[in-house]
Amino acid sequence: MARGALDVADSVVAFIDLGTNSVRLLVVRLNPNASYTVLARDKETVRLGEGEFAGNRLQAEAMQRAILVCAKFVHVAQSLGAGEVHAVATAATREARNRGDFVRKLRKQAGLEMHVISGKEEARLIYLGVAGGLNLGAKSGLFVDIGGGSTEVIVGTQDEYAYLDTMRLGAIRLTSRFFKPDEEGPVTDRKYAMLQRHIRDAAVRVFQKLRQLPVDTVIASSGTAESVAQVASLKFRGRALDPEDVLPASLVAKTVQYLRSLSIRERRKVPGLNPSAPTSSSPARRSSTPSSRTSSSPSSASATAACRTGCSSITSTVTSISRPSARCPRAS
């Protein structure tokens, strides 16, 4: 569908975010007072990046899963009166050697024009979406979004970013690289040390830059991070996570240690752990939230980023680089 400027008040616009693990839909009505009303949001886990990263080729079954969900989301958007559908694809698609074929299939079979964005553009959109839902005041924040194929990091204030970057680190990518499909036991000390070494080696340039920038708090904005935060609150604080909670890095590390001591079967029973979070074998899952909440100051970038929700080893490593706390707001 055509992608145009979002300058028509009182119109309905839809956004589709095609990630490495999930596809997300957000449908909003743009209001005359420069606010927007959320009409619907949906999420389905398709694991587009499954089996891709070894040879940088999207697998046929994974592509078909994503195409079917995108076609359904286009239908939902049209049924709600959306005149425009803005769609972006991230790490799995941008790194695939056969991404051109995939984009053409999306156009032909789902009726969707997919825009493949760079890692830094993804980071910028994440910053706009998350910062728009926070009140940092005069503080500077480190924004971290862990997806299936990449992790985006941004340093910024409420109004502008000072640094943004992307790393080829994500839950599906690391699962594919370090775990066999039938490996379902606890994560051993040896395996965990290998993961940490790999993450530090891959992120050394980013970490060096982050240490040079003033940061007062860490804001984690992904399904993986929220799951870790929810488990931490339920397990060690005895209550559900509050959107305003701030978790010390020591509690994040403690939670990661707890989770890695469990088998996959045991982890699936842990209260607060997102059942659609990537494991070594996860069927497609769906999460749907009809909504009519109104928010202010929409834009194409921030509304696209708002439909992002984005492995615990990355969470622990990033929050350990001299940062005092991790703030885990719910995905907007």
Strands 35-45 and 286-290: antiparallel
Q: What percent of the chain has pLDDT over 70?
A: 79
pLDDT at 321: 43
Name all domains of the chain by residue range, CATH numbers in brackets: 136-280+309-327 (3.30.420.150)
Instruction: Note the pLDDT tens digit of each residue in 9-29.
Output: 569 999 999 999 999 999 999
What is the C-alpha to C-alpha distance for residues 44 and 286, in angstroms, rounded to an integer? 4
Q: Which residues contact 292 (CB under 8 A, 6 or more apart)?
A: 37, 38, 39
Contact (Cβ atoms closer than 8 angstroms) between residue 47 and residue 172: yes
Instruction: Note the pLDDT tens digit of each residue in 189-215.
Output: 999 999 999 999 999 999 999 999 999
**pLDDT bucket at 296, cuts 50 / 70 / 90:** very low
Contact (Cβ atoms closer than 8 angstroms) between residue 126 and residue 302: no
Task: Map residue 304 onto helix, strand or coil.
Answer: helix
What is the C-alpha to C-alpha distance for residues 144 and 219, in angstroms, rounded to an integer? 6
Structure-model confidence comparison of residues 293 and 264, the more confident one? 264
Instruction: Note the pLDDT tens digit of each residue in 217-250.
Output: 889 888 888 889 999 999 999 999 988 888 898 9
pLDDT at 235: 95
pLDDT at 311: 42
pLDDT at 327: 54
pLDDT at 307: 33
Question: Residue 33 above 90 pLDDT?
Answer: no
Angle at 302 between CA 301 and CA 308, to 5 degrees: 100
State the DSSP code for 272: T
Mean pLDDT calculated for residue range 155-161: 94
Instruction: Note the pLDDT tens digit of each residue in 53-112.
Output: 888 999 999 999 999 999 999 999 999 999 999 999 999 999 999 999 999 999 999 999
Instruction: Note the pLDDT tens digit of each residue in 164-190.
Output: 999 999 988 998 899 888 888 999 999
pLDDT at 8: 54
Contact (Cβ atoms closer than 8 angstroms) between residue 271 and residue 231: yes
pLDDT at 308: 29
pTM over 0.85: no
Mean pLDDT (the chain) is 82
Place of tokens 């398709």: 46
